[in-house]
Every structure is written in structure tokens, then in C-alpha cells.
Amino acid sequence: MAQPQASDGDRTGKPPLRIGMVGYAFMGAAHSQGWRTAGRVFDLPMSPDMAVICGRDADAVRAAADRHGWAETETDWRALVERDDVDLVDVCTPGDSHAEIALAALAAGKHVLCEKPLANTVAEAEAMARAAEEAQARGQLAMVGFNYRRVPATALARRMVAEGRIGALRHVRVVYLQDWLVDPQFPLTWRLRREQAGSGSLGDLGAHIVDLAQYLAGERLAGVSALTETFVRERPLPTAAGAGLAAVSAAGTGQVTVDDAALFTGRFASGALASFEATRYATGRKNALRIELNGERGSLAFDLERLNELSYHDGTEPGTHAGFRRILVTEPDHPYLEGWWPPGHGLGYEHTFVHQARDLVHAVAEGRGPDPSFADGLQVQRVLAAVEESAGKNSVYTPIAA
Ligand code: SOE
């Protein structure tokens, strides 16, 4: 691939990485924040250039471009992926278009960042992973956006597990709890339709915790056993796009075609046991992702709602003064912290997207495989499919006699 030169307008003197982003809702805004900030905080080898943002509604995408700092707009993603002045396509659309856009972008010679879950089906994810592998041989990278790997505390937990600080893993316990569907009058948005979202809490939240559990454990799940449930099967239809997430129309109701909650257990290749819960019905819980790992020498625990902290129990310490202690993950030698504020001045959700942009720019500039790759996204997709298969069969769900 031709190496782009530093553009006239780029004051850093570094070669630009020209981004074209498709989608401008929640994830589009979060990714924009990442692209805008990464080069201002970290000394990157290339300069992210927010070249073009794409969405179907010309006025809305123009407004999003102005709000988030994109230079130009497109209303057709096909035109965007063909543009010569775009090096990387960032896919922030609902799952039903991930495969089509990412495959076209790879075929057009672009690097790709794709939001999670990678696709809506294993077949789509397989095609994407295959195309990404072929593209990598041509110097193109494809990364899936599991941003919770990029919280400094989770990255530190990964480092500590790899260093052997908790020893052989026995348990991984992980939940991802939200409550935005508790109200049965909440409208039937795209996230509740299988044809658009692929699955419900499972793909939206479960994908995150499967990836995070495997990433922290440093190994993959070998099998799962699952239960899923859809508590509210019919919901009011939403108004046209732009009228607000919770706005319902007078047009009646429609069927919810995804899971509201997914519970599953799993076994890692090493024999460690894992439990997972993903739900949008945990009343009072807004974005509670909690993970605990127990090893034979110690334990680690993380809570996204206290994301500057990591709890660590060193099981080798004498019992008299052993116990969980809080590591404040804000030191300059903690992962990602070298560019940020002095110790104690914490980070938040948005910074995970800055770190994601940082890591991807490095991968592109240094020509190394992106982490997590599309192959990693495919493997998570296989876990999600196994959960659905297990829940569908009720294979290990043994009813209790009345
Ligand atoms: C909605 O449930 C959502 O925005 C997810 O789609 C994101 O991936 C997660 O980070 C926050 O919650």
C-alpha cells in the first residue's frame, strides 16, 4: 500500500492516518472522541486525521461532523470505502451491516476497525476473519473494538495474570448489568430486533464479557452451558430516527426477537470454571461490568463503575494481614497512563476509545497484527453461538420436580 505523506494541514509533521467512519450515534461519538484525542495525549507514529464521516441522513451526518470534528461527510458508505483519501474505515453501525462494510473496505485496500460484536452470525464473522487474514498479507489491518481491554486497570490485570501473580486460574466470575429495558414501554429499537442486532444482551454485553474474561485469563473457553430469556416480548414501536431513544410512535407494537438476558457457565481449556451474566434488566445497575479471577496464589477483581481501581489479593501473604487491597491504577507506569494526568487524577469510559485509537495507530504504523483481531472477534462469535445453541436445547437445564 502507498504510504500517505504528512498533509499540509497536519502540524505534527507525522504521516496522517486518514479515517473514514460509518455511523454517528453512541459508538460513532465514542470513536470520534478516541480519534480526536489519541494524538494529543500520546506520541503516536502517525497522526489520526478525521477525514470523512458517513451516515444516510445528510443533515444529521453534517451535524455530527460539526459536533465531533470530521472534515467531510458522505451519505453512502460504498462511496466512503472507495475514496482514495481514506486509509482506515471505522465501522460503527448496527451489526447487520458490519460484514458488508468491513468486507468492502478490506477489498478496497483499507485498514478496518469494526465495533463489537464482529458480526451477527458465525458465517459472517468467518468471512470477515478470512478476508482480514488475506488483507494482512497485503499490509492491511483489521481490528474489532473490544474497548474494555483498554481500561488501564483491566490491562494491568492482564499483565498481573501473565506475570503469574494469581497462579493457576480456578474461577472467572463476570457480570455485565444494565437496566434500560426494565420499563416495558421502552420502544422496540434496533437493538431489540434480531435481524439488525443479531442477538440481545448476549451480543451487546455478553460479547464484551466473553472477550474480557478470555483476555484476562489468557486462554479460551472450551465449552458453555446456557439459559437465555426474553422477559418482555412485545414493545411499542419507536418514532422515526432522531426523535430520541425512548420516544415511541403511535404506530402500535412489535415483537422483541432477541434475548433480554443471558446466563451461562463455561470451562476454560485449562479446566478453570467461569460464570457469565448479561442483562438489561438489572434494576438500578447502569453499566456494571464486574469481573473477578481466583487463582491458586491470589485473586483480582475489577468493577467498571470504579474503573480507576483494581482489587488484588495476594494469597501468598501471611493470613494475619492478607486481604484484598485496592490498587489505584493512575501511576505513569500503569498501562496507558504515561500520557495522562498526574497520579490520582482518574480516567473514564471515553478514554478506552482513545486507547483503542492509540493501539490501532501503532499497529498500522508498525505493521503488526492488531489485537483483538477479526479472528478473535470470530472466536467470541462462536462462543455466543454456542450459548444460543445450548440455551435453545436446554441441554443441561434439569427441571426440579414440584
Ligand atoms: C449498550 O448496551 C452499550 O452501549 C453497548 O452497546 C456498549 O458496547 C457498551 O460499552 C455500553 O452499553
Is the CB of residue 26 below 6 angstroms from any atom belonging to ligand 1? Answer: yes
Q: Calculate how far, in angstroms, residue 116's C-alpha sits from the geometric centre of ligand 1.
A: 9
Cα 284 to Cα 40, 182, 207, 288, 388, distances in angstroms: 36, 9, 22, 10, 27
CA terminus-to-terminus distance, the chain? 67
Q: Calculate how far, in angstroms, residue 287's C-alpha sits from the geometric centre of ligand 1.
A: 8
Grid cell at residue 211 = 472477550
Is the CB of residue 178 below 6 angstroms from any atom belonging to ligand 1? Answer: yes
Q: Calculate how far, in angstroms, residue 167's C-alpha sits from the geometric centre of ligand 1.
A: 32
Beta pairing partners, 326: 311
Question: What pLDDT score was predicted for residue 271?
Answer: 94
Complex-level ipTM beyond the 0.90 threshold = yes
Task: Let me know: does 172 contact 216? Beta carbons within 8 Å.
Answer: yes
Question: What pLDDT score was predicted for residue 67?
Answer: 98
What is the mean predicted confidence (pLDDT) over 319-340? 95
Ligand 1, atom 8, residue with closest C-alpha = 204
Q: Please tell me the pTM assigned to this model.
A: 0.95
CA–CA separation, 144 and 25 (whole Å): 18
Is the CB of residue 352 below 6 angstroms from any atom belonging to ligand 1? Answer: no
Grid cell at residue 205 = 454485553
Q: What is the CA radius of gyration of the chain?
A: 21
Torsion of CA 207, 212, 214, 215, to 10 degrees: 130
pLDDT at 246 over 80: no
Task: Let me know: does 181 contact 234? Beta carbons within 8 Å.
Answer: no
pLDDT at 19 over 50: yes
**Residues 251, 25, 185, 200, CA torsion sign:** positive
Question: What pLDDT score was predicted for residue 99?
Answer: 98
Question: What pLDDT score was predicted for residue 245?
Answer: 61
Residue 209: how many CB atoms within 10 A of its CB? Answer: 23
CA neighbours closer than 13 Å in the CB half-sphere of residue 344:
0
Q: Calculate how far, in angstroms, residue 176's C-alpha sits from the geometric centre of ligand 1.
A: 10
Is the CB of residue 341 below 6 angstroms from any atom belonging to ligand 1? Answer: no
CATH assignment of 16-146, given 1.10.357.10, 3.40.50.720, 3.30.420.40, 1.10.150.120? Answer: 3.40.50.720
Q: Is 311 helix (H, G, I), strand (E, B) or coil?
A: strand
Q: Calculate how far, in angstroms, residue 12's C-alpha sits from the geometric centre of ligand 1.
A: 33
Q: Calculate how far, in angstroms, residue 398's C-alpha sits from the geometric centre of ligand 1.
A: 32
Mean pLDDT, rounded, of the chain: 94
Task: Please give the number of the atom of ligand 1 that sits closest to the Cα of 115.
Answer: 8
Q: Where are the domains of the chain?
A: 16-146, 148-399
Among residues of the chain, what percentage have pLDDT more than 70? 93
Task: Let me know: does 20 contact 89? Beta carbons within 8 Å.
Answer: yes
Is the CB of residue 397 below 6 angstroms from any atom belonging to ligand 1? Answer: no
Is the CB of residue 199 below 6 angstroms from any atom belonging to ligand 1? Answer: no
Label residue 2 left, alpha or beta by phi (over 0 means left) and psi (-120 to 50 means alpha). beta
- Stated as kind and residue range, the H or E segment containing 116 is none
Question: What pLDDT score was predicted for residue 349?
Answer: 98
Label residue 156 left, alpha or beta by phi (over 0 means left) and psi (-120 to 50 means alpha). alpha
CATH number assigned to the domain covering 148-399 = 3.30.360.10
Mind listing the pLDDT tens digit for each residue in 151-210? 999 999 999 999 999 999 999 999 999 999 999 999 999 999 999 999 999 999 999 999
